[in-house]
């Protein structure tokens, strides 16, 4: 019997995030993803002799933005280095990267774990260019090369060996993906390869402080697969050691079909990349003004929003997290609450915010899910929704009619006001006592037995009568008036 609990795992992740610039890192070729191969390849991308690189400032800006959002220290004096190696999809024979001085150092990403919050420490974030793509499966004899991706700007985000389970890696990647999307520096799409992750995993006996030999797992195309690969790897390594074997430093690949890993290559010794400063690219300096200006482009981040919603708006943690989950949803919610009418005296503001939150998590979320659209495509504006909430507040319509009838109708006719459409569709509650009285009359006449029971003392039946009037009036009868008129009749 193997005692897995004797061991602990140590994990460090390396994430490549493709920056959302329009053009490549060192030339004007489009950085956009296209299916047609070799369409975004100028002589610079193809590394023709005599071509020279020209630095794309936007890539630097995005890397700094990410570094600031991760609480990193930003390096003021930077240069690029050549990392030399041979590969068919690397036309220059070297990759332009940063070596000893990454643009961002240290920093952390906060995750939630079973034991509370944890700051996952970063080692660095550096900028580098992507390579092209070798395509091995289109021809029996030849490998094809697509250079569209060659030269596209990447950030490599490297953690310290600071994670200890597949679950923590999952949480870290979820937060990192949210962050890069939130600040709009990368689309975070792992399935399409614009965010890629390699996992470094080792094990050691609990209490041991020295790091064990690590294995690097590649080809992880979803956050879930990163977790699966790590879980598998930890188990495999423990079994290897417990069965008398030793861990050898390896690069392994994950097979998503069966959840296992297999060896790609065994690192005998570190590769010699013969790094040196790229003589075609001058060092670049980051001024304090530029840093300040970039800092000012960072919106309020997820963590801070969740905390603010709980403390200032008195939302529950669950509501706060669902609403802040995507920046667009949070933006919509914030516009919505600023359009709400002021709370009546005596009512805490939390009541109003809760009503707004309920709309976001209930009708809005369901509508978006059912129609598979994002909130940015929703035709109903936050101020129209605020009008609906105000109508409910004033007792002019009840929530169920508002959400089931007025809300979908308003989505179809976003240019009409909520009040006008509710009137046109005859959805407003009536406090016309004559009309409500006739509904009350009709209900009581329909159920003489229940009326008799009520009069004998079964007072709880009032709820049934109110419900029947509501049904008969299709939700239009003002509930308070209904109640009053029913009592009047029943007690007569």
**Closest distance between ligand ADP and the C-beta of residue 125, in Å?**
12
Site for ligand ADP, residues 51 to 80, rule: CB under 6 A: none
Q: Which is nearer to ligand ADP, 128 or 319 (CB)?
A: 128
Query: What gap in Å lies between CA 476 and CA 447, rounded to an integer?
Result: 21
Q: Which is nearer to ligand ADP, 211 or 351 (CB)?
A: 211
Tell me the per-residue interface mask from 85 to 124 with ligand ADP, x by CB under 6 A, - otherwise. --------------------------------------x-
Tell which one of 200, 225, 384, 482 touches ligand ADP (CB under 6 A).
200
Q: Which is nearer to ligand ADP, 214 or 232 (CB)?
A: 214
Query: What gap in Å lies between CA 111 and CA 127, rounded to an integer?
Result: 24
Query: What gap in Å lies between CA 150 and CA 138, rounded to an integer?
Result: 20
Q: Token pair of 114, please? A: 């079973």
Indicate if the alpha-carbon torsion angle 19, 20, 25, 30 is positive or negative: positive
Query: What gap in Å lies between CA 487 and CA 393, rounded to an integer?
Result: 24
Contact range with ligand ADP by CB under 6 A, out of 6-14, 227-235, 281-289, 451-459: 6-14
Q: Token pair of 52, please? A: 């020279």
Tell me the per-residue interface mask from 147 to 186 with ligand ADP, x by CB under 6 A, - otherwise. -----------xxxx-------------------------
- Nearest residue to the partner ligand ADP, using Cβ: 12
Q: How many residues bind ligand ADP (CB under 6 A)?
A: 16
Nearest CA among 152, 67, 47, 101 for reference residue 284: 101
Q: Which is nearer to ligand ADP, 254 or 302 (CB)?
A: 254
Q: Which is nearer to ligand ADP, 162 or 387 (CB)?
A: 162
Tell me the per-residue interface mask from 7 to 36 with ligand ADP, x by CB under 6 A, - otherwise. ---xxxxx----------------------
Contact at 8 Å (CB) between 198 and 156? no
**Closest distance between ligand ADP and the C-beta of residue 251, in Å?**
9
Query: What gap in Å lies between CA 241 and CA 205, rounded to an integer?
Result: 11
Q: Which is nearer to ligand ADP, 41 or 66 (CB)?
A: 66
**Closest distance between ligand ADP and the C-beta of residue 163, in Å?**
8
Nearest CA among 209, 259, 23, 214 for reference residue 129: 23
**Closest distance between ligand ADP and the C-beta of residue 10, in Å?**
4
Q: Which is nearer to ligand ADP, 15 or 375 (CB)?
A: 15
**Closest distance between ligand ADP and the C-beta of residue 204, in Å?**
8
**Closest distance between ligand ADP and the C-beta of residue 212, in Å?**
6
Q: Which is nearer to ligand ADP, 14 or 303 (CB)?
A: 14
Alpha-carbon torsion angle 52, 57, 58, 61, nearest 10? 140
Q: Which is nearer to ligand ADP, 10 or 63 (CB)?
A: 10
Contact range with ligand ADP by CB under 6 A, out of 44-52, 73-81, 90-98, 200-208: 200-208
CA distance to 249, 445, 471, 483, per residue, from 478 (Å): 74, 20, 12, 9
Contact range with ligand ADP by CB under 6 A, out of 21-29, 196-204, 385-393, 405-413: 196-204
Contact range with ligand ADP by CB under 6 A, out of 139-147, 197-205, 332-340, 399-407: 197-205
Query: What gap in Å lies between CA 282 and CA 78, rounded to an integer?
Result: 9
Q: Token pair of 321, please? A: 């997290």
Contact range with ligand ADP by CB under 6 A, out of 19-27, 111-119, 206-214, 228-236: 206-214
Q: Which is nearer to ligand ADP, 169 or 294 (CB)?
A: 169
Bridge partners (DSSP) of residue 285 are 77
Q: Token pair of 478, please? A: 């003002």
> C-alpha 136: how far from its chain's center?
33
Q: Which is nearer to ligand ADP, 177 or 396 (CB)?
A: 177
Tell me the per-residue interface mask from 214 to 253 with ligand ADP, x by CB under 6 A, - otherwise. x---------------------------------------
For ligand ADP, the binding residues (CB under 6 A) are 10-14, 123, 158-161, 200-202, 211-212, 214
């Amino acid at each position: 019997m193997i005692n897995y609990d004797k061991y602990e795992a140590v994990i460090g992740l390396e994430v490549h995030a493709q920056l959302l610039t329009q053009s490549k890192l060192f030339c004007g070729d489009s950085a956009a993803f296209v299916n047609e191969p070799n369409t975004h390849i100028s002589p610079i991308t193809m590394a023709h002799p005599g071509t020279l690189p020209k630095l794309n400032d936007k890539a630097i800006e995005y890397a700094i933005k990410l570094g600031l959002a991760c609480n990193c220290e930003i390096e003021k004096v930077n240069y690029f280095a050549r990392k030399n190696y041979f590969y068919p999809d690397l036309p220059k024979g070297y990759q332009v990267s940063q070596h000893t001085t990454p643009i961002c150092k240290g920093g952390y990403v906060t995750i939630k774990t079973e034991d509370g919050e944890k700051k996952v420490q970063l080692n660095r974030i550096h900028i580098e260019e992507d390579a092209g793509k070798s395509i091995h499966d289109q021809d029996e004899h030849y490998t094809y090369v697509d250079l569209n991706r060659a030269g596209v700007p990447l950030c490599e985000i490297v953690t310290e060996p600071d994670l200890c389970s597949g679950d923590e890696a999952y949480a870290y990647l979820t937060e990192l993906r949210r962050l890069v999307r939130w600040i709009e520096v990368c689309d975070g799409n792992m399935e399409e390869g614009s965010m890629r992750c390699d996992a470094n995993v080792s094990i050691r006996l609990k209490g041991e402080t020295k790091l064990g030999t690590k294995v690097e797992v590649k080809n992880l195309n979803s956050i879930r697969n990163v977790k699966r690969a790590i879980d598998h790897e930890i188990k495999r390594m423990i079994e290897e050691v417990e069965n008398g074997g030793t861990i050898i430093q390896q690069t392994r690949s994950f097979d998503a079909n069966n959840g296992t890993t297999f060896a790609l290559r065994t690192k005998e010794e570190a590769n010699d990349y013969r790094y040196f400063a790229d003589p075609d690219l001058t060092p670049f300096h980051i001024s304090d003004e530029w840093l300040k200006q970039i800092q000012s482009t960072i919106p309020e981040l997820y963590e801070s929003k969740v905390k603010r919603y709980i403390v200032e708006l008195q939302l529950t943690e669950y509501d706060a997290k669902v609403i802040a989950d995507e920046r667009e949803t949070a933006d919509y919610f914030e516009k919505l609450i600023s359009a709400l009418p002021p709370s009546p005296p005596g009512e805490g503001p939390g009541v109003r915010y809760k009503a707004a939150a309920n709309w976001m998590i209930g009708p809005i979320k369901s509508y978006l899910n059912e129609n598979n659209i994002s909130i940015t495509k929703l035709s109903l504006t936050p101020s129209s929704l605020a009008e609906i909430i105000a109508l409910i507040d004033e007792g002019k319509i009840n929530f169920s009619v508002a959400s089931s009838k007025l809300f979908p109708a308003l989505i179809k006719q976003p240019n009409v006001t909520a009040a006008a459409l509710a009137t046109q569709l005859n959805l407003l509650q009536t406090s016309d006592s004559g009309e409500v009285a006739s509904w009350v009359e009709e209900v009581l006449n329909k159920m003489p037995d229940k009326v008799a029971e009520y009069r004998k003392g079964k007072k709880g039946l009032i709820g049934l009568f109110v419900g029947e009037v509501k049904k008969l009036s299709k939700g239009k009868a003002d509930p308070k008036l209904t109640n009053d008129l029913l009592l009047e009749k029943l007690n007569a």
